[in-house]
Amino acid sequence: MAQPRVLVIGGGLAGLSATMRLAELGVEVDLMSLVPVKRSHSVCAQGGINSVNSLTRQQGDTEWKHLDDTVYGGDFLQHQPPVKEMTDWGPRIIDLMDRLGVPFNRTPEGFRDQRRFGGTLYKRTAFAGATTGQQLLYALDEQVRRFEVEGKVKKWEFWDFLQPVLDSSGRCRGAVCQDLVTMQFRAFPADAVILATGGCGLVYGRSTMSMVCTGSAVSRAYQSGAAYGNGEFIQVHPTAIPGADKLRLMSESARGEGGRVWVPRAPHDPRDPREIPEAERYYFLEDRYPKYGNLVPRDIATREIFDICTTDGLSVEKDRLCVYLDLTHIPRETLDRKLGGILEIYEKFQGVDPRSVPMKIFPAVHYSMGGLWVDYQRSASGGMEEGAPKNQQTSLPGLYAIGECDYQYHGANRLGANSLLSCIFSGLFCAPGVMAASGSLRTLAAEESKGLFDAALRRQEERHEALLARRGGNENPYTIHNELGDLMTRVATVVRRNEQLASAYDDVCQLEERWQRCSLSDTGNWTNQNVVFTKSVGDMFPLAKLILKGALLRDECRGAHYKPSAAMPGIAATEPSAQRLEAEEWCDRFEANTRRWLKSTIARHGADGHPQITYEDIDTSLIPPRPRLYGLVGGDVIEEVWKERQRKATAAQAESPRATDSALPVGAAS
Amino acid sequence: MSRSHASAGTSGADGHASPTAGTTVHVRVLRQDAPAQESYWERHDVPYEPNMNVISVLQRIAAAARAKDGRRVAPVAWDCNCLEEVCGSCTMLVNGRTRMACTALVDKLLEENPEEIELKPMSKFPVVRDLVVDRGRVFRALERVQAWVPVDGSYDHGPGPRISPEQQEDAYPLSTCMSCGCCLEACPQFTKIEVHQRSGESVEQLAQRRDEAYDDGFVGAHAISQAVLFNNHPTGKMIADERMTALTAPGGIQMCGNAQNCVAVCPKQIPLTRSIARAGRAATVWAIKKLFDR
């Protein structure tokens, strides 16, 4: 029997860690990427990577608390065993990256330094300057290069994944891919294919994501039958720098250091912001949230900034939505000392000094919590069973998904600095299972009938030729992409309304029809970026549709998904007994909502091109769901009522799960 | 469409003269359809927008797909990804200077030259198409100097070595090198190596012949700096001798002519000349040591 061979698509943190571990296990790996793997989107992560560490442990932190913070931050919309396994692995993963040479910041004594991030009370986040993602990626890239020199890994850079190849039983036997330089097609027989292709930010036009984050690979797997989970959960970061080409992140620390958010009271006031007097400025966050001011939780800040521009029409600029983030009242020396690095980014891209001119910022699509549905094998201890072939396997046997493109770890909302952990973890952890699955197959892919691959190749060649041959079409793929992005950004980001979602769904279908009439401006067969982009735009529609449909059907608020019609406001009463009554009603409603909606949205691509939505129950056996009350008026009363109910429920059961009474974390989740 | 001049603008909030909406940015691109073909200039006009960078100019050119004279043309091909100057993809010659297209702001470029923006592919690497070049040699050089920590494997062996804050601050800037190739483009000692496929030659044979050709050429400032980075890491230095062998082989550090262009063009301000000086001293010590070890 031939040596097992695995095809990994995508060379970010997840793809590289899977490749490294597989090569170490003796599996031959083909590693494919749209760009040289060292240029993957993981480089954009700035903040850090979370894990319990020796310091936090002595302050009472445990892996269990990291699990609790993650599922609470995610509003309980994730299966808990994989998250438990991930948080258990955290310390080992940081140690490994440390050994690989990542230049983590150090304490005076030479230990790794940690900082605190949102959604936790502990300093769990290890970091390397302001480029932690870049540094982690480079360390893995270097190890994979080592295996490449040894001949255990073969890289296919500047290649595009077009479709998985399925046999008659529905098992994935390889893939068809295209060389982006020569435009040649090639079939890759493989015993397993692992997708590690990241998020789908470009469905929203511009986002904080890199240009390769089109979601096309995931969409192609979905269109081939793989199920997609929780697509409607898209994280929007409150403060990004709007750019003509992309939206760049502006760290939350700008507000942490005293930055004030405001808009001119007169719509689109043309004056230099420095000349607008105080009385004519509207500090809307400070005004509406006197207690928290500019440091309201991320989802609230995002919603308010979005609403002031759209609903209130008070955007600073007429043609572009943005508000001022003002640091100019803070002494320059203080700014340089505390925020130097991030202010330089603003200056570099805007050509304006934010120490003397207020920055213009707006929320931006940042992360896809949803992704391909993947399986896991629960272990006896409540985690994931290492080496089980179904870990990280999609609904198509033999096709795996890891990193941002799976739906597994972040539920309805991701905590800062948890994404790097989930990427490296899922990559390392899936490898033994993938190898076990490859070894147990009766016939290896290389011996499968050639006809299977020839048919798939022909299908892709025909799609390609048909695109090139389109004549007389009057539609421009770049314009259609812009329209899709504007539409999705308007209706499916921060605030979602059913009538808007329903009409946007029809609009997306119309855009998809118009896309059929795109004609290409480049019909050649050499480094044709035009046809590659056009294909990826075409593959955005199935994703846009499942995001919209999932959001439309989900009549509740959970994590990043917010519908005003389903919002559960805090307590209005001021008199204690009335407050108490309202809190009881609030908890009744919460319990009813949990029963109805604490389920993963599962989308399958229908033959008619529309997503078929079903719901999947969630394994919350480790930590029972509880309300997220951060910033809610009367939250303390609700919490009191909730805890009483939990105590009663606990008393009613003989054995109680461990974490029922754990305190509500105070930090802002995101 | 307005034909008024791009530089005829009003004073912006930051005090610079900047063009206003309605004006046009003139762009001249050096195009080449494929390797071994003649290059040619093509002019494009792009409507000015505030805060544009060269990437957004190229995006507008791709969407319009028409040259200045109205001819329908294929979009200009170029490389990019993160657009935040951390991935190293979008290196090109903008107004004659090697730099990242994402941080090349149109307002600043028009201050340099109000007439037009000139875009050319890097000259030290084989052109694939238009502004896309083959920078495989950049990564090949990292293999030559074994730019990695030679760990036993990915199984748990506890934390890495203790590192002082000073060591970390020394290593971190070197570790931000994004393999963009600016230092190589600017280096007089780094000359273009282009290997074409011979008739009957397989892709694998071509790759091998290309790597051999690359290995004869100058390894480059970026790779020397990476060798210094790993030779100063407590575990990385366990194969320091092998890196020194590579650095002192033909095409190694002795080829550096000390022009110091590399450090001047590095978008990340990596102290490349300092790395080269350190590697040079280490090479001298190593050569003497080798002499006595014989």
The pLDDT tens digits for A492-525 are 999 999 999 999 999 999 999 999 999 999 999 9
- ipTM of the predicted structure? 0.94
Tell me, what's the pLDDT at B3?
A: 38
End-to-end Cα distance, chain B = 76
Helix (H) or strand (E) holding A425: helix A419-439
Same domain, A641 and A599: yes
Q: Which of B33, B86, B142 lies nearest to residue A134, judging by beta carbons?
A: B86
CA distance B292 to chain A (A): 31
Q: Is A606 on the interface with B (CB under 8 A)?
A: no
Whether residue A244 lies inside any domain: the answer is yes
Q: Tell whether the model's pLDDT for residue A665 goes beyond 50.
A: no
Of A266, A295, A259, the C-alpha closest to A281 is A266
Residue B10: other Cβ atoms inside 10 A: 8
Lowest mean pLDDT, pick from A13-22, A604-613, A632-641:
A632-641
Of A133, A126, A157, A169, the C-alpha closest to A33 is A157
Tell me, what's the pLDDT at A335?
A: 87
Tokens of B128: 């694939």
Give B10-129's CATH code, choosing from 1.10.10.60, 3.30.1950.10, 3.10.20.30, 3.40.50.300.
3.10.20.30
Same domain, A82 and A209: yes
Assign A416 a pLDDT band (cuts: 50, 70, 90).
confident
- 8 Å CB contact between B164 and B172: no
Same domain, A251 and A345: yes
Whether residue A667 lies inside any domain: the answer is no
Helix (H) or strand (E) holding A84: helix A80-99
**Percent of the residues in chain A that have a pLDDT greater than 70, as a whole number:** 95
Same domain, A337 and A197: no
Same domain, A47 and A162: yes
List the strands of the sheet with A172-179, edge to edge: A159-166, A172-179, A185-189
Q: Name which CATH class applies to B135-293.
A: mainly alpha
In the stretch 153-182 of chain B, residues with CB closer than 8 A to chain A read: 153-154, 156-160, 162-165, 167-168, 171-172, 175-176, 178-179
Tokens of A63: 């892996």
Tell me, what's the pLDDT at B263?
A: 98
Whether residue A411 lies inside any domain: the answer is yes
CB spacing of B14 vs A357 below 8 angstroms: yes
Same domain, A56 and A194: yes
Same domain, A344 and A203: no
Q: Tell whether the model's pLDDT for residue A447 goes beyond 90.
A: no
Largest separation between any pair of C-alpha atoms in chain B: 76
Whether residue A70 lies inside any domain: the answer is yes
CB spacing of A353 vs B75 below 8 angstroms: no
Q: Tell whether the model's pLDDT for residue B217 goes beyond 80.
A: yes
Same domain, A634 and A575: yes
Tell me, what's the pLDDT at A654?
A: 56
Report chain A's mean pLDDT, rounded to a whole number: 92
Which chain A residue shows the shortest CA-CA distance from B13? Answer: A272
Residues linked to residue A106 through DSSP beta bridges, in sequence order: A112
Q: Torsion over CA of B59, A39, B190 and B32, rounded to 10 degrees?
A: -30
Tell me, what's the pLDDT at A655?
A: 55
- 8 Å CB contact between A624 and A72: no
| pLDDT, average across residues A290-318 | 86
Distance CA A100, CA B152 (A): 10
CA-to-CA dists, residue A245 to B51, B52, B102, B268, angstroms: 10, 8, 9, 21
Distance CA A336, CA B285 (A): 41
- Topology match between the domains B10-129 and B135-293: no
Q: Is B239 on the interface with A (CB under 8 A)?
A: no
Q: Tell whether the model's pLDDT for residue B1 goes beyond 60.
A: no
Query: What CATH code is carried by the domain that includes residue A484?
Result: 1.20.58.100
Domain count, chain A: 4
The set of catalytic residues of A is: 298
- Determine the angle formed by the axes of helices A80-99 and A63-73, rounding to 10 degrees: 120
Same domain, A404 and A445: yes
Whether residue A558 lies inside any domain: the answer is no
In B, which residues are within 8 Å of A360 by CB distance?
A: none
Distance CA B289, CA B271 (A): 27
Same domain, A15 and A131: yes
Same domain, A76 and A147: yes
- 8 Å CB contact between A117 and A50: yes
Q: Is A567 on the interface with B (CB under 8 A)?
A: no
Q: Where are the domains of chain B?
A: 10-129, 135-293
Tell me, what's the pLDDT at A473?
A: 78
Distance CA A48, CA A135 (A): 10
Boundaries of domain holding A343: 238-363
Same domain, A530 and A605: no
Q: Which residue among A420, A450, A480 closes a domain?
A: A450
